[in-house]
A and B are shown apart, each in its own frame.
Chain A
Amino acid sequence: MSLDKNGIAKRIAQELKDGYYVNLGIGIPTLVANYVPENIEVVLQSENGLLGIGPFPKKGEADPDLINAGKQTVTTIPGSSFFDSSLSFAMIRGGHVDLTVLGAFEVTDKGDISSWKIPGKMVKGMGGAMDLVAAAKNIIVATTHTDRNGEPKLKTKCDLPLTGINCVKTIVTDLAVIEVTDKGFKLLERAPGVSVEEIVEKTGAPLIVEGDIPEMKL
């Protein structure tokens, strides 16, 4: 069975390592914060100027001066710090953030990603996504394997305007964990009960399948 949003977030959380500074994008990536393993410590970076994002505030305690990059009210944790936007992106650009998790419209087998604009129809703007993908040491994309119409989101070429090129390292979808290698997409894991055939069929680019592909452990 394919994973829901929380399942994707749960699987991505397994990629976190103790001591990581992590930037989580809007949407599914934000949910990753709910599944950080208990035995490790990670610090979440919010590009609007916060290191150490805490949980959502209690009812009645929301502070309009304290939001995350998705403009949601948040709190701090012991050891949090605030800073301005230029310093925030200096730490991103400078390679100090260990991992970035973001959503995507499309990802290619070269690691290109599109995520910010559908010409003529919708323009969200790139926000900090271009800065993050161009600079982060490790980028995981969280997405559904296909779009609303069942078309593959993992392809050989992005049809929509690019956010960055040659940058995505890993993709976690509702069906699979896929690595972007020099030779293209490589299937690492499949969602529980999902067949390799189904994943191959729903991927719009060649998929390297070597040996038995294990199921994700959630």
Chain B
Amino acid sequence: MNKVVKNANEAIKGMQDGQTFMLGGFGLSGIPENTIKALVESGLNDLTCISNNAGVDDFGLGLLLKKHQIKKMISSYVGENKEFERQLLSGELEVDLIPQGTLAERLRAGGAGIPAFYVPAGYGTEVGEGKESREFNGKMHLLEFALTADFAVVKAWKGDTMGNLIYRETANNFNQAMATAGKITIAEVEILVPAGELNPNEIHTPGIYVQRIFQGVNYEKRIEFETVTE
């Protein structure tokens, strides 16, 4: 079973205007750089994007925002992205901000066939407005629903031709849950090897979740805040 495609352009084939896609990464760590570039070049529009952050102004998802290709963002943190904050405050961009753990669990549930679940995060805040709530063990919880997408785009460290993936350090973050929640999951990897070369004990994402895989090129792996000790 060979899932290898040539490059990012081939990987996003079939993606259409108005579709929903999810994108792995935390800040700029573990983002699928090659596929983002291909999406910017594709000129696809009216996209709904599920991603914890939105990159920075001139890198990562920020590039798609700048070109107004995204209609709606589902995220947990705007942080330091000025363009994201500007589009949000001006109303140009529809933004659904949700607690980070709820986001992660909604993705996990989406891939695991669990339509909804209760969590305490956000109860009593504007996140809970209009949501069904229920008490368990003396504590209030909100009903949250699973998230899936037409495409999930993830970045892994190593992958094989069958789509098995291994992430590296904290570059795993949202990638692992998202890989399970796409109708079509695209994985870009730094190192692509033939099936059989990865140690099955070390695989984070089994190949069943991945439909297309390719080895990325020219990773910049930009650091957002380089902090060092002297």
A58 touches B229 (CB 8 A): yes
Please, which residue of chain B has its CB at the minimum distance from the CB of A47?
B100
* Contact flag A164-B124 (CB < 8 Å), given A65-B29, A86-B107: yes
A59 touches B170 (CB 8 A): no
Please, which residue of chain A has its CB at the minimum distance from the CB of B107?
A86
Smallest beta-carbon distance A122→chain B, Å: 7
CA distance A84 to B225 in the complex (A): 21
**Complex interface: chain A residues within 8 A of B225 (CB):** 67, 70-73
A123 touches B227 (CB 8 A): no
**Complex interface: chain A residues within 8 A of B199 (CB):** none
Given B167, B170, B228, which contacts A46 in the complex, CB threshold below 8 Å? B170
Please, which residue of chain A has its CB at the minimum distance from the CB of B112?
A86
B88, B99, B105, B168: which has the most chain A beta carbons within 10 Å?
A: B99
Given B75, B101, B127, B228, which contacts A73 in the complex, CB threshold below 8 Å? B228
Please, which residue of chain A has its CB at the minimum distance from the CB of B27?
A71
A85 touches B169 (CB 8 A): no
CA distance A155 to B121 in the complex (A): 22
B28-42 contacts to A (CB < 8 Å):
28-30
- Interface flag for B120 (CB, 8 Å): yes
Q: How large is the interface on B (under 10, 10 to 19, 20 to 34, 35 or more residues)?
A: 35 or more
- Interface flag for A13 (CB, 8 Å): no
Given A65, A88, A127, A135, which contacts B171 in the complex, CB threshold below 8 Å? A65
Given A63, A70, A93, A122, which contacts B121 in the complex, CB threshold below 8 Å? A93
B26, B98, B103, B125: which has the most chain A beta carbons within 10 Å?
A: B125
Q: Mark A56-98, 1 if CB is under 8 A from B, else 0.
A: 1111111111111111111000000011111011101100000
Q: Mark B103-123, 1 if CB is under 8 A from A, else 0.
A: 111011000000000011111
- Interface flag for A150 (CB, 8 Å): no
**Complex interface: chain B residues within 8 A of A92 (CB):** 101
B170 touches A126 (CB 8 A): no
Please, which residue of chain B has its CB at the minimum distance from the CB of A83?
B172
**Complex interface: chain B residues within 8 A of A162 (CB):** 124-126
* Contact flag A126-B124 (CB < 8 Å), given A49-B170, A86-B108: no
A126 touches B97 (CB 8 A): yes
Q: Mark B125-143, 1 if CB is under 8 A from A, else 0.
A: 1110000000000000000
**Complex interface: chain B residues within 8 A of A3 (CB):** none
**Complex interface: chain B residues within 8 A of A193 (CB):** none
A46, A57, A64, A74: which has the most chain B beta carbons within 10 Å?
A: A64
Given B126, B127, B224, which contacts A71 in the complex, CB threshold below 8 Å? B224
CA distance A82 to B175 in the complex (A): 13
A-B contact count (CB 8 A): 194
- Interface flag for A100 (CB, 8 Å): no
**Complex interface: chain B residues within 8 A of A58 (CB):** 228-229
B104 touches A65 (CB 8 A): no
Given A59, A68, A166, which contacts B228 in the complex, CB threshold below 8 Å? A59
- Interface flag for B185 (CB, 8 Å): no
- Interface flag for B77 (CB, 8 Å): yes
A85 touches B100 (CB 8 A): yes
- Interface flag for B177 (CB, 8 Å): yes
B122 touches A134 (CB 8 A): yes
**Complex interface: chain B residues within 8 A of A46 (CB):** 170
Given A49, A56, A68, A124, which contacts B78 in the complex, CB threshold below 8 Å? A124
B176 touches A89 (CB 8 A): no
**Complex interface: chain A residues within 8 A of B97 (CB):** 123, 125-126
**Complex interface: chain A residues within 8 A of B169 (CB):** 50, 63, 65-66, 82
Interface residues of A (CB under 8 A from B): 46-50, 55-74, 82-86, 88-90, 92-93, 112, 120-131, 134-135, 161-166
Query: Can you list the 7 inter-chain pairs with the closest CB atoms, starting with the nearest?
Result: A89-B101, A131-B101, A165-B124, A84-B176, A130-B99, A71-B27, A125-B77
Q: List 15 A-B contacts (CB under 8 A).
A: A47-B100, A48-B26, A49-B170, A57-B229, A59-B230, A64-B29, A65-B221, A71-B225, A86-B104, A86-B108, A89-B100, A124-B77, A125-B76, A126-B99, A164-B121
